[in-house]
Structure formats: C-alpha cells, structure tokens
C-alpha cells in the first residue's frame, strides 16, 4: 500500500490560511483607516462650512448692527425734527396771538370814556390798568371782556378815585383788571358753539 504524507499539504494549507487571514486583517485595518480618513475629511469639511457660516453670520450681524445704529440715529434725528416741527408749528400758531390779543384788548375799549395807562402780560395772565370817566364805564368794559372769546376769568383788582388838576378839576376812576387768555382749543370750541 502506498502511503501519502498529507502533513506538508496541511502545513501549506495552514500557511495559506494564515496568509489569507493576515491579508484580511491588513485589508480590514487599511479599510478602517481609509474609512476613518474619509470620515475625518467629511467632518473637517463640515467644520470648515460651519466656520464659514459662522463668519458670514458674524459679518451679517455686524452689518445689521451698523444698520441698527444708523436706524437709531435716524430715529433720534426724526424725534429732533418732530420737536422742531412742533416748535415751528407752535411759533407759527402763536406768532399772531400777541397782536390779536392787543387788538382784542383795544377793540374792547369804551371809546371816548376810558383809556389804558398800562398793559402787562405774564404768561397767560394779562393785567390792564387804565382811567375811566366813571364806574359805569369800568363795568361796561368788564362786561365786554366777559363776552369776549379770547379772555376768561375777568377780575377787577382795584378801582380808585383819580383827580386830574388843570384848568378844570376832573374826577376820574383809575382801575386795574386782571384776566387770562383762553387756550386756542377753547376759542375754537366756543366759536363752533356759536
């Protein structure tokens, strides 16, 4: 009978199996390293994109902050302009008021029976001093003031005897009357009612 020694074949087969296993192991390690490298590149790309997004967002935020500062400055300028416009409107509305008040005061004068010696205005309060021929003239003047649309709170402060000496001695009445100007809104409301 023939004897065949299978040991070298088994040894060769074992070596071949070890070589295959080593190749598979090395291939697996290379494959894992390759996968790690690719995943690392992918993560680096994402990090770079996120950093680029962050920097562009910061640039936009800085840009919008500058725009917000400009808007805030414009709003502040608009507020100042609104205040100036209100002042101009107030001045425009009130520029004729002193002349109209003086005209109204002189319109209320009882002609040839009285005259003014002093007109004093402090804020909304007006003080009129004058001389009248008699008490009835002062009363008529105060009635005219009360009926006026421009004035309110009429008060007689004083009436004194005043004597003028010359060729003839005249007995006159010196008077002081205090009253207030009506606000423009009240003037227009009363004018509408009538």
Q: What pLDDT is recorded for position 185?
A: 59
73-86 burial, b at 16+ Cβ within 10 Å, e below that, comes to eeeeeeeeeeeeee
The count of other CB atoms within 10 Å of the CB of residue 47 is: 10
Residue 100's Cβ-count burial label (10 Å; 0-12, 13-18, 19+) is middle
Whether the model pTM is above 0.75? no
Average pLDDT value for residue range 120-131: 90
pLDDT, position 34: 95
Question: Which pair of structure tokens corresponds to residue 113?
Answer: 């029976």
Asked if the model's pLDDT at residue 191 lies above 60, the reply is no
Percentage of residues in the chain having pLDDT higher than 70: 90
Mean pLDDT of the chain: 87
Sign of CA dihedral 179, 180, 186, 188: positive
- In this structure, are residues 126 and 101 in contact, taking their beta carbons and an 8 Å threshold? yes
Label residue 100 by pLDDT band (50, 70, 90). Answer: confident
Residue whose token pair is 């004093």: 120
Q: List pLDDT tens digits, range 54-90.
A: 999 999 999 999 999 999 999 999 999 999 999 998 8
């Amino acid at each position: 009978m023939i004897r065949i020694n299978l040991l070298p074949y088994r040894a060769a087969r074992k070596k071949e199996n070890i070589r295959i296993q080593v190749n598979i192991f090395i291939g697996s390690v290379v494959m894992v390293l390759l996968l790690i490298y690719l995943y690392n590149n992918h993560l680096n790309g994402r990090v770079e994109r996120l950093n680029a997004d962050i920097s562009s967002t910061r640039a936009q935020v800085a840009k919008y902050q500058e725009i917000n500062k400009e808007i805030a400055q414009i709003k502040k300028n608009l507020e100042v302009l609104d205040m100036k416009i209100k002042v101009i409107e107030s001045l425009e509305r009130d520029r004729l008021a002193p002349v109209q008040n003086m005209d109204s005061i002189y319109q209320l004068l009882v002609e040839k029976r009285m005259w003014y010696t002093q007109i004093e205005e402090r804020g909304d309060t007006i003080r009129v001093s004058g001389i009248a021929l008699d008490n009835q003239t002062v009363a008529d003047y105060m009635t005219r003031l009360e009926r006026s649309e421009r004035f309110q709170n009429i008060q007689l402060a004083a009436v004194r005897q005043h004597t003028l000496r010359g060729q003839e001695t005249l007995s006159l009445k010196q008077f002081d009357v205090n009253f207030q100007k009506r606000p423009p809104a009240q003037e227009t409301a009363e004018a509408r009612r009538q």
